[in-house]
Structure 1
Amino acid sequence: LAGLDCIYLTGEQAENNIVEHVGILQEGPEAQTRFDKVLLLAPTAAIPTKQVCQDLMRRGVTAIGLVGPECPQLPAALKTFGDESFFPILYFPSSGDLSFPAVKILNEIILRANTEAWRRRVIHGRFTHIAMSSGSLIDLATALYQLIGCPIAIYDMYNEQRILIPEGHPSLANLRLDTLPTEALKTGWQPFRIEATPERPFNLIITGIIVDKMTYGYLVVAEGGNRLQATELVAIDHAAIALALQLVKEKATQDAYQNLRNDLLDEILNAEVDDTARNNLILRSRSLGWDLERNYITIAFGIDGMERYYSKDVNRGSIPWRTCMEHCLKQIGDLARELEPNAIVAGHSDTIILLLRVEPAQSPQKMRQRLVKLASNIREAAVERLDGIGLSVGIGESTGSLLEIGPSYREAREALLYGRSIFGPGSIVPFSELGIYRLLLRFTQREDLEEFYQRTVGILVEFVAQQDSHLVPTLEALVANNGQMQKAAESFNIHYNTLKYRLQKIKELTGLDWHEAEGRLNLHIGLKLRQVIGNNNN
């Protein structure tokens, strides 16, 4: 506005909120700082930009009056800025004395400012009261809805829930965060407005709920036909802060409760329990609602490729081990309790432990089938929710009370580790199905195992690489068909005589005859060792 014929009317605010000592500044608001209200009068030809208005506000200008013979057309963006920032842009006819209406305008601006300050104090007090009195997320959302009159959605990322106020409102009922622009979800505390589209005839205002650089969720407001005013945006800001406080409290409570379960289970599994310690464990177990009179069995979940989560190189996109464990523990716990309400879920070392009640009358086979099905359902649902994190599962065989669950845990742990080592990541292995693998994997003299493997199946693998590629699959077909040669030939789609020829070739290479019990046993163990040595080179 430099070079234009502008007048700065200034005034001091008295105790009765009336403007007094009105004067004229010839050099702009920076020249004399003793005036706390400034009204800039400029010709209508000098319509300012939004950036100029923001600069004038920082320098102490309270409002702009445009003086001219005709009312100017203000750009829509400038009018919106004036409304939202309580920065009036007014029109004065060029005829007449401007001092009297200018003073009245300054008085009105002061009254509006005081009203605005009072409303902000009310908003702050209301959300602070709800937060300090342990109000819920629904209480906070309802309070915001009552203040601004627009539909509210709270996306709780930690507990994976969405709260709508009013419930089921069509403007937000079908809204998914993954359909929103990426920049809207990286807005932080600053509200981000997404303008309406033909498919969505209303604006969205999105505010991140963030604590210590961690996003706990999002607050989404469906803006109606009239854009929200500055006070209403302040209400959204205060609501987001109160929501952040509430989510942090909820997470801290959940984490503390989970730590109690983890620590108690750790003591049960590892401590040598005397009478005093036993009584202490009984009291703590009952305080958590654990039934000490029932028998339990253990399912162990392990994160596949856990070593990559120990990385501190955030540029590679890896996440901390503790964060990964907490996320998996929560998801598996939620799913397990949906399917088995009495399930006990806790973290132990790098394993997630699930303790399930068992009925004494149930046969081992039926119980094993039920546990495998349950573990499979939990694993599949958890992997889908965990976005790329793989899980393997081991299932114990022994049952016992909570204070006697140690053997069942060790079985589930071995089934998890050995099963993943033999059958690969993502496996679900009951301890009872490990069979001879338990002996082979526990064998301390690895050189002896490798020598035995080389004399039985290893020599066939080398021969396969050079000439005949069907010798090892032939043995596997025989084992799968309980040694019945005719069925093995049919399953392999070869002639019976071809199978006999291959067995003869195996005998020539290894010195082991399939038709003899000793030779058949050694070849069978060799096949088992192939899985152990091939998948467990560490």
Structure 2
Amino acid sequence: MHLLAGLLQQALDPASSDFLSGLDLLPADGQGQRLRESLRSVHALASNARGQRMLTLALSETAAAISSLREGGNVLREIVTRTRAIVGTDMAYISLNDPEKRETRITETDGVWTQAYRDIRMPFGTGVLGNVARADGPIQVSDYSQAVSLAHLEHIDDAVAKEGVKALLGAPMRIGGDIIGALMVADRWAHEFSEEQIFAVEALANQAAVALDNLERLAELTESMGSLETANRDKESSIARLKRLAATDDELFAALSSSEGLPGLAARISQILGRPARLLDLTVRIDAGDVGGEKLHAARALIPASRHTNAPVTATLEDGTTVVVMASVIEGDALGGVLVEGETAADDEAILRRAALVLGTFISHSDASRHNRQRQRVELLATLISPPAEGLRQHTATSAAAYGLEDGSPFRVAIVDGALRSLTDFEEALEVDLGEQLLRGHFDDRLYLGAPEQVFAWIADFLGKPGARRWGGVRMAHSEPLAALSEIGAGFALAERVLTAARSLPQAGNVVGWQSLGTIGIFLANADSQVTQSALRGSLGPLLDYDRSNGTQLCDTALCYLDEGRNIARTAQELVVHPNTVRQRLERIESLLGPEWNNGRRALDHHVLLVVARLLDGSPAKH
């Protein structure tokens, strides 16, 4: 019973790879054979249903895509491209009928190689195309050259042969009761098309006909509306509407040219509509209109639909509130949207369109300005880190002072490291609270920042508190308080060494400085001092020189040996070498550092200095 239940579950899953092998476990008697046949039938039905669902989804997506287009050429291109992808053929094309010339002409193609094929004009009743263009349903041939039932034309046959076409399938496109053309697919190999392919082509042909009909009706409607507006220009209602729209344009452009920002624009739109308007900026993850909770979610969900239809979209929330969203689209990209609550009249929709256009212009300009300010901050940081030989210029010091970094006032620099997504989240969280007054920039996928002491303390507390786990492994290494711009380069160098050291120390927290690293930190903070360099040369000089001269890894071996508690077997395992190799290296180390190099205080000194040498070298431990 358990076996049968498992096989039935696998039969219902078209993606199951164990189904066929599982059938062999059934008894070989007559009952087992009947069970096998029944389960195979269930599996086939499930696979067919899955295929139908995928085809239906593809057709639905195609309908949504072509409904968003407003030009006939774009619609035809979208149809043939998607038809070829969905049906899986070598080519797809559309022909439109010319009733006066009694012929059908190919107008759009995808996958066609030769110009001669693209230029085909097929008289009604000839070839596959000419028959489909006047047929009641789909027509196919498995091999065009062998289809004796078709009326062939020599120049058409030559074009088909040069293109290499064998199998053809087409369906007529109808508007009302009239056939306006045909949607065709073709392969360069002979075969019969499946029922699924025939169904898909016929459905896509119907969608194409509807889309072309809608475009024609839209053009007629646009022309009619223009005529009606001209005819009723002098009517009082029309004049009032035009005055309101003119006043709207004045208000919106005043907001665009002012320094009020998005809050000011939102206030003006709210005043015009007589209800609260909320603005959504998709170029950042901070909601400019303070849209919260369900309304924010609804706005984001409705913006793509509004973009596709180029019109306001209405939805009703779970609490019964009606919301209307108009997407702000610039050059085809949705940059944001305007959200209002309640039903909207035609005049309000016109205002929403204007408001969305101005919002898109504002966001586009703000986004460009934001990127320009980011570039300027990065350039300023780069200059402060590596100042010119003649020193920092006055305008550089003035620019740094705008961010709170100036000679005589304590400040710190830091490097923030982590996964790109987590780093982006952290930086945007800083922007929410600190705005753009924090000097920061990205170098080598890390965030470099400089901040006055008070601001740095807030950042350190923000990142270091328990809830900071949500930043997903973001770690900030910082300098000590600095008092001069000339110290910034050294401060970042120290932060880099601290960050490298923190990676090797599991106990290091989210916020690390040299003091939090204990003895190692003391050496890192004084890496350039004569004392540190003398300690390294005095204790490890012969070993460092030997590695450098001979290309060996005795320092790595010595460090690993001490890390592993002077256990040769574990050291060999970590270094992936034979224990005898470790013994030979230890003999060489002993000859260079002396027989007591790994005993007592000397062992401690060597252990610490080997770690420091590795961190100052900037490379991770090879073992």
How does the TM-score come out when normalised to structure 1?
0.52
Q: Which amino acid aligns with 1:232?
A: D
* Counterpart pick for 1:187 among 287, 305, 324: 305
Equivalent in the alignment of 1:367: none
Is 1:353 the counterpart of 2:448? The answer is: yes
* Counterpart pick for 2:316 among 196, 203, 219: 196
Output the aligned Cα RMSD.
Answer: 5.3
Equivalent in the alignment of 1:502: none
**Could you say if the C-alpha distance between residues 325 and 246 of structure 1 is closer, same or farther in structure 2, counting changes exceeding 3 Å?**
farther
Equivalent in the alignment of 1:447: 553
Distance (whole Å) between structure 2 residues aligned to residue 457 and residue 214 of structure 1? 56
**Could you say if the C-alpha distance between residues 110 and 271 of structure 1 is closer, same or farther in structure 2, counting changes exceeding 3 Å?**
same
Q: Which amino acid aligns with 2:274?
A: G
Equivalent in the alignment of 1:143: 268
**Could you say if the C-alpha distance between residues 151 and 250 of structure 1 is closer, same or farther in structure 2, counting changes exceeding 3 Å?**
same
Equivalent in the alignment of 1:163: 289
User: Which gives a bigger RCO, structure 1 or 2 (Cα 8 Å, sep 6+)?
Assistant: 1
Equivalent in the alignment of 1:241: 357
Distance (whole Å) between structure 2 residues aligned to residue 52 and residue 268 of structure 1? 64
Please report how far the alpha carbon of residue 194 of structure 1 lies from its aligned counterpart in structure 2 after TM superposition: 4.0
1:232 partner SS: helix
Contact 1:419 1:427 in 2 (8 A): no
2:316 partner SS: coil
**Could you say if the C-alpha distance between residues 211 and 378 of structure 1 is closer, same or farther in structure 2, counting changes exceeding 3 Å?**
farther
CA shift digits 1:104-143 (9 cap, x unpaired): x997698466765565444334423432344532332233
Distance (whole Å) between structure 2 residues aligned to residue 384 and residue 211 of structure 1? 38
User: Comparing both structures, which one devotes a greater share of its residues to helix?
Assistant: 2
Equivalent in the alignment of 2:476: 393
2:380 partner SS: helix
Is 1:377 the counterpart of 2:434? The answer is: no
Aligned length: 363
CA shift digits 1:125-182 (9 cap, x unpaired): 4423432344532332233223332321123452724436xxxxxxx7654423x387
Contact 2:277 2:338 in 1 (8 A): yes
* Counterpart pick for 1:431 among 492, 514, 521: 514
Distance (whole Å) between structure 2 residues aligned to residue 243 and residue 381 of structure 1? 39
Please report how far the alpha carbon of residue 243 of structure 1 lies from its aligned counterpart in structure 2 after TM superposition: 1.5
Contact 2:463 2:511 in 1 (8 A): no
Distance (whole Å) between structure 1 residues aligned to residue 380 and residue 361 of structure 2? 29
Distance (whole Å) between structure 2 residues aligned to residue 136 and residue 452 of structure 1? 62
**Could you say if the C-alpha distance between residues 271 and 342 of structure 1 is closer, same or farther in structure 2, counting changes exceeding 3 Å?**
same
Distance (whole Å) between structure 1 residues aligned to residue 357 and residue 378 of structure 2? 31
Distance (whole Å) between structure 2 residues aligned to residue 119 and residue 261 of structure 1? 43
1:123 partner SS: helix
Please report how far the alpha carbon of residue 411 of structure 1 lies from its aligned counterpart in structure 2 after TM superposition: 0.7
Equivalent in the alignment of 1:268: 384
Please report how far the alpha carbon of residue 345 of structure 1 lies from its aligned counterpart in structure 2 after TM superposition: 3.9
Distance (whole Å) between structure 2 residues aligned to residue 534 and residue 411 of structure 1? 15
CA shift digits 1:73-95 (9 cap, x unpaired): xxxxxxxxxxxx9999xxxxxxx
- The within-5 A match list for 1:263-412 is 263-274=379-390, 277-286=392-401, 290-302=405-417, 304-305=418-419, 329-332=427-430, 334-335=432-433, 337=434, 344-348=439-443, 350-358=445-453, 374-378=459-463, 390-397=473-480, 399-412=482-495
Contact 1:262 1:347 in 2 (8 A): yes
Contact 2:263 2:288 in 1 (8 A): no
**Could you say if the C-alpha distance between residues 451 and 330 of structure 1 is closer, same or farther in structure 2, counting changes exceeding 3 Å?**
same
Please report how far the alpha carbon of residue 236 of structure 1 lies from its aligned counterpart in structure 2 after TM superposition: 0.7
Contact 1:372 1:428 in 2 (8 A): no
Distance (whole Å) between structure 1 residues aligned to residue 328 and residue 218 of structure 2? 29
Please report how far the alpha carbon of residue 237 of structure 1 lies from its aligned counterpart in structure 2 after TM superposition: 1.2
* Counterpart pick for 1:205 among 303, 315, 324: 324
1:301 partner SS: strand
Contact 2:325 2:340 in 1 (8 A): yes
2:480 partner SS: coil
Please report how far the alpha carbon of residue 407 of structure 1 lies from its aligned counterpart in structure 2 after TM superposition: 1.9
Equivalent in the alignment of 1:68: none
How does the TM-score come out when normalised to structure 2?
0.46
**Could you say if the C-alpha distance between residues 125 and 175 of structure 1 is closer, same or farther in structure 2, counting changes exceeding 3 Å?**
same
* Counterpart pick for 1:59 among 203, 220, 228: 220
CA shift digits 1:370-391 (9 cap, x unpaired): 97884252366997887x6x42
Q: Which amino acid aligns with 1:354?
A: L
Q: Which runs of 5+ in 1 are unaligned?
A: 1-50, 64-84, 89-104, 165-171, 307-318, 360-369, 467-510
Please report how far the alpha carbon of residue 447 of structure 1 lies from its aligned counterpart in structure 2 after TM superposition: 0.9
Distance (whole Å) between structure 1 residues aligned to residue 368 and residue 246 of structure 2? 29
Equivalent in the alignment of 2:253: 128
Distance (whole Å) between structure 1 residues aligned to residue 465 and residue 519 of structure 2? 26
Q: Which amino acid aligns with 2:286?
A: E
Please report how far the alpha carbon of residue 205 of structure 1 lies from its aligned counterpart in structure 2 after TM superposition: 1.0
Q: Which amino acid aligns with 2:220?
A: R
Please report how far the alpha carbon of residue 222 of structure 1 lies from its aligned counterpart in structure 2 after TM superposition: 0.3
Q: Which runs of 5+ in 2 are unaligned?
A: 1-211, 528-535, 574-594
Please report how far the alpha carbon of residue 267 of structure 1 lies from its aligned counterpart in structure 2 after TM superposition: 1.3
Q: Give the % identical residues.
A: 13
* Counterpart pick for 1:259 among 367, 375, 378: 375
Contact 2:324 2:340 in 1 (8 A): yes
